[in-house]
Chains A and B, each alone.
Chain A
Amino acid sequence: MEQASVPLQTAPGERTVSTRRRARGRPGARLAWIGQGFLLLLAAVVLYILITNLIKDPPLFAAFVLSGLQLGFVYALIALGYTMVYGIVRLINFAHGDVFMVGAFVSFYAVTRFQLHIWPAAVFPGLPSGLVVVIGSLTVVLLSMIVCTAMAVTIERVAYKPLRDAPRIAALITAIGVSFFLEFFGALYFVFSPRFIPYQRPFEVVTWYIKDGIHLVQAGQAPPPGSITFSNIFLIIVAASILVQLVLQFLVRRTKIGKAMRAASFDKPTARLMGIDVDGVISFTFAVGAAFAGLGGVLYAIAYSSIWTQLGILPGLKAFVAAVLGGIGSLPGAFVGALIMGQAEALTSGYISTPMRDAVAFTILIIVLLVKPTGLFGEAAGEKA
């Protein structure tokens, strides 16, 4: 830098050392307004687009917001796993998105091949059909969660644990490797096959519309113009996501294992000295995160009804961005971040440009990290080596 920069800023031999120092010493912080102005301009443009569209067609805007909410609550389920794992082992668990994908596929096979969603009707023929659907669907979800948990713990033991003391990038590359393996092993014909597979839902999607009260949308009938529609899967996703958030809050704040998790994320050697089984805590964290990713996978598949082996990549990445946005390591942060990401994606594809919705996610990531590196809810922990 010495050779490169000095001749550029001072004519050789003309200025004395003191003037050069003075020339250098102008505080650049005064120019922060340039960057802030740029961001404000960007925000103003975005707001302008949104507000004009809101005024033009409020029901359409509401429809985009609802679809964004649905997406956001699914991202929240994935983001929780990212944020917990990163909070404890400082590893971007790339394979998390693929665990999400496996969750979707497990439920697909459970429903299509084994008819698991109607088992109560087969075992207890007299059961009312509503109860059958509820119990059956819960079983499917539970099965997916269990399989995902088992898989995540295996991955953690086989791939990540031996690298716990290696440089962090080595673990990151390993995580990418695991993610690749899951995607392409799944793409083999005797596993999941590389095709897009239409997903058979364990229960029917019912849609309502709001216009002068709530009405049911009849099959083969379009809702009247100017109405807002929502479906039962939307309600289920919202309820599940909020429930999971509450459960996790309870787990982390009130239980013994939660205390151990917080201790391990704070300082692993000290936690070990205090008699905490840190490896067990890490495995438990992976397990909990994977269980919720599996749940998210099932709900995502039901909502969007088409699955394939690379399904998890982009939701996984966006959920990670959401976790960073909210402040990595913070559970409410991941939740809020995911909702913001969902809105950003839905509104971008609605009003700016559908293909650029991924670009917006990463632009948000970069801007947030530059403006507030700790995220919205993050603690100023910084990056531990």
Chain B
Amino acid sequence: MSVNLGFIVLSLVKIVAILAYLYGLFWAMGHANRLVKVAGVVLAFGIIQIALSVQIGETQILNDFDRGLLFQACTMTMVALGLNLIYGFNGQFSLAQWGFYGIGAYTAADITYRWNVRDARGLLVAGIGVILGGLMILAVGRLVRRYQGMPVLSQFTLYLIGSVLAGAVAVVIGNVLNPLLVPLFGTPDAPGILASPAVMQVVFLLAVLIAGAFAAGVSFLFGLPVLTLGSDYFGIATLGFSIVVQTLMVNTDTILPFPEMKGGRGMIGIPKLTTWFWAFLFLLAVIVIMRNLIHSSTGRAIMSVREDETAARAMGIDVAFYKLFAFVMGSFFAGIGGGVYAHYIGFLSPGTFDFLVGFNPLIIVVFGGLGSMTGTIAASFGWIFFLEGLLRVLLSQMGTEAPTWRYVLYPITLLLLMLLRPQGLLGNIEWGFLKRPAVALRARAAGK
């Protein structure tokens, strides 16, 4: 065990360094001077990039294990932030987040996998489907809003018919357009324009965005009827959703028509396209979008639903709309996180998306503090680096039961936290950029 002491100290130093890094990043981003903002972000990106690539003597500052932890922490942050929007800010106890994460991962992976084997259908069908689905939602939404108090089941039926039609049209168009694109891929000996690495990067970006949008679309369809249930029932229904999604993943090649996903054996051969640049970019985008959303009038409406639905309704807030909006946005973030994860790990198996693992983001959100973005981000990074990094290595040296022991310790900590500090470790503390921009708001109000 004496060998481990150095490892423990190093791991703890890493965790503290990561937290300090996050604090510095948010401080810089919250600075009034735009130059400091840009410099801070670039510096934050550069530090890690250098640490990942530069070697000092024999050792790398951040080795492959740390790299994996870092990407895992980024995806977990996106998923947990989405859940915090749904549960922390909007008060809807959702266990479906992990299902949307899995949907995003599989969607994005399928698009780039197919692209890699010279098949543009993945991108075409998913992309066109998402666009048509979005248009359909707008159109049907317009129709639904003409009527007052249309039963939710009828709305759902209309949206369902619409999305089935949109999906069918997308499949037809994709299959028609695909033969036109296939020649552009070239042959393995003479790669065409579409097979070049630059195009692949664009496809990856699109794939992740489409994955997010697709997860958001599914969450819209699912959330529309289910969000009208009471809080506990909503929790159970969303848990059921996660279970169903996992069942479908196990049967992607039998029930669903995706033989390349290989069902329960797991999908292999996903191009590993996630670099620190993309992970950082997506993480930053999610954080900025969410922070601006929270501090806008929409965000205040979302929070008012959490505080008191009746009072919010009395203030003229469309409670059903904001619940659905927060749910869809949260799932969008989860889908993006899934896309990034799939291209970092290169292998997807249904076991990763087991609903028991799906409690992790929930525990992170509760740990960090409901309704605290800083808490969620810090807890995600701390969680991954501490539990996945330090504890996994330490426990695996103590015996073969390491994963089980970790799962024995989680619930105990969760119970203690619930009993001793129900508001989470960081409570309502926000760092730098994530703080409520009081001055800016007041200035705008005065300007009017």
Enumerate chain A interface residues (CB-CB to B < 8 A).
1-5, 8-9, 23-39, 90, 92, 159, 162-163, 166-170, 172-174, 176-181, 183-185, 187-189, 194, 310, 313-314, 317, 320-321, 324, 353, 355-356, 358-359, 361-362, 365-366, 369-371, 373, 383
Q: How far apart are the CA atoms of A162 and B421 in the complex, in Å?
A: 13
The segment from B17-25, B116-124, B329-337, B412-420 found at the interface with A is B412-420
When A and B form their complex, which 5 residue pairs have the shortest distance between CB atoms, in order from nearest?
Answer: A362-B240, A35-B153, A28-B150, A28-B147, A1-B318
Q: Return chain B residues, CB-CB under 8 Å to A353.
A: 255
Say whether A181 contacts B153, CB under 8 Å.
Answer: no
Q: Is A177's CB under 8 angstroms from B225's CB?
A: no
| CB of B142 within 8 Å of the partner chain | yes
Q: Is the C-beta of B362 less than 8 angstroms from some C-beta in chain A?
A: yes
Residue of A nearest to B301 (CB): A1
Partner of B243 from A34, A187, A362 at Cβ < 8 Å:
A362
Say if the beta carbon of B10 comes within 8 Å of chain A.
Answer: no
User: Is B187 part of the contact surface with A, judged by Cβ < 8 Å?
Assistant: no
Q: Assess whether B151 is in contact with A188, with CB atoms less than 8 Å apart.
A: no
Total inter-chain residue pairs, C-beta < 8 Å: 193
Q: A184 to B407, alpha carbons, bound, how many Å?
A: 6
User: Can you name 20 A-B residue pairings with CB atoms under 8 Å?
Assistant: A8-B138, A24-B146, A29-B149, A32-B150, A32-B153, A32-B154, A39-B153, A177-B412, A177-B415, A181-B408, A181-B415, A184-B411, A185-B408, A189-B401, A321-B240, A358-B240, A359-B247, A362-B236, A365-B237, A366-B240
Apart from A37-B157, A177-B415, A310-B356, 13 more pairs, CB < 8 Å: A32-B151, A36-B153, A38-B154, A170-B418, A176-B411, A178-B411, A180-B407, A180-B411, A180-B414, A188-B401, A359-B243, A362-B241, A369-B229
A269 CB, min distance to chain B CBs, angstroms? 21
**What's the least CB distance linking A354 to chain B, in Å?**
10
Known contacts A172-B235, A370-B228: A194-B404 contact under CB 8 Å = yes
Residues A8 and B142 in contact in the complex (CB < 8 Å), given A1-B301, A31-B151, A355-B255: yes
For B226, give the chain A residue with the smallest CB separation.
A366
Task: Return the contact of A34 from the options B145, B157, B247, B411 (Cβ within 8 A).
Answer: B157
Contacts of A176 in B (CB 8 A): 359, 362, 411
Of B156, B230, B240, B254, the residue contacting A383 (CB under 8 A) is B230
- A371–B156 Cα distance when bound, in Å, is 13
Q: Is the interface of B mostly helix, strand, loop or mixed?
A: helix
Determine which of A172, A313, A362, A366 lies in contact with B232 in the assembled complex, contact meaning CB atoms within 8 Å: A172
- The complex places the Cα of A303 from the Cα of B141 at a distance, in Å, of 50
B247 touches A317 (CB 8 A): no
**In the complex the two chains form, is A180's CB within 8 Å of B359's CB?**
yes
Q: Do A177 and B322 touch (CB < 8 A)?
A: no
The answer to whether B93 has its CB under 8 Å from any CB of chain A is yes
User: Does A9 contact B237, Cβ atoms closer than 8 Å?
Assistant: no
Q: A358-B247, A371-B153 are in contact. Are A366 and B237 (CB under 8 A)?
A: yes
| Residues on the A chain within 8 Å of B7, using CB | none
List the A side residues contacting B316 at CB < 8 Å. 1-2
Which residues from chain A contact B414 at a C-beta distance below 8 Å? 173-174, 177, 180
Given A28-B151, A194-B404, A366-B226, A356 and B255 touching (CB < 8 A)? Answer: yes
Answer whether residue B286 sits at the interface, using C-beta atoms and an 8 A cutoff.
Answer: no
Evaluate contact between B142 and A358: CB separation under 8 angstroms: no
Q: How far is the CA of A373 from the CA of B297 in the complex (A)?
A: 32
Q: Is B55 interfacial (CB 8 A cutoff)? A: no
Q: Is B231 an interface residue (CB 8 A)?
A: yes
Interface string of B151-169 (1 = CB under 8 A from A): 1111111101000000000
B201–chain A nearest beta-carbon distance, Å: 34
Complex formed: what's the CA distance from A350 to B362 in Å? 35
Write the chain A residue with the least CB distance to B241.
A362
Chain A hits for B410, CB < 8 A: 177, 180
Closest to A181 in B: B411
- B147 → chain A closest CB, angstroms: 3
- With contact pairs A188-B405, A358-B243, A361-B240 given, residues A177 and B157 touching in the complex (Cβ less than 8 Å): no
Determine the chain B residues whose CB is within 8 A of the CB of A39 once the complex forms. 153
- Please report the C-alpha to C-alpha distance between residue A126 and residue B188 in the assembled complex, in whole angstroms: 83
